[in-house]
Amino acid sequence: MSKITNSVDAPKVREERYGAYVDEVKDEGFKPLTRDEAQKLRSANPSLSPWRVLAWQLLVGVLVACAAWGLTAKLSVGWSALYGALAVVVPGAVLARGITGKVSSMNPGAAVAGFFLWEMVKIGLTVAMLFAAPRLVENLSWPAMLVGLIVTMKVSWGALWFKPKRPTTHQT
């Protein structure tokens, strides 16, 4: 059972509780980064923009749709593959817009809550688009649509491999 303390003793308890942790961190040689060191770290490890990933997904989706149309000579197969790609790109754009907004950058708690909210919106929109597919795409080819959807989804993994390279520095 925890001990209840009055408000006068509370700061001492906090100091005792966290003091050992702070000493442990100092013993491990932890040093906060200066502004210049943080800037160097950011420039050495550039982040990957969600908009860049979406652009690659859209490009690959269009290429898959053209390939599907070219291989089968059926326009409906090409449209089905393109719709599958759009079922990834459109909800992804909604998510990217939501998580890159002002509210998500206010504090870490808002960023986490915003991410979960927008991820649920993305999933819901994807499911809604898949349910609407037979009504929106004439002569829908489910296999072509699923190929477009899956290939477009996998582009995000490729984007991680081909993200901007770190600048090379030569030390002499």
Instruction: Express each pLDDT in 6-23 by its tens digit.
Output: 555 455 445 555 555 555
121 — pLDDT class (breaks 50, 70, 90): very high
Instruction: Please indicate, yes or no, whether residues 71 and 118 belong to a single structural domain of this protein.
Output: yes
Instruction: Please indicate, yes or no, whether residues 63 and 107 belong to a single structural domain of this protein.
Output: yes
Residue 55 lies in a domain: yes
What value does the mean pLDDT take over residues 108-134? 92
- List CB contacts of 137: < 8 A, sequence separation 6 or more: 76, 79, 80, 83, 145
Instruction: Please indicate, yes or no, whether residues 77 and 105 belong to a single structural domain of this protein.
Output: yes
Please give the DSSP secondary-structure letter assigned to residue 9.
T
Total domain count, the chain:
2
**CB–CB of 87/151 below 8 Å?**
no
Instruction: Please indicate, yes or no, whether residues 29 and 59 belong to a single structural domain of this protein.
Output: no
Residue 5 lies in a domain: no
Answer whether residue 25 shows pLDDT above 90: no
Instruction: Please indicate, yes or no, whether residues 20 and 69 belong to a single structural domain of this protein.
Output: no
Answer whether residue 82 shows pLDDT above 60: yes
Residue 172 lies in a domain: no
Residue 1 lies in a domain: no
Residue 58 lies in a domain: yes
Model pTM?
0.70
Residue 25's domain comprises 10-42
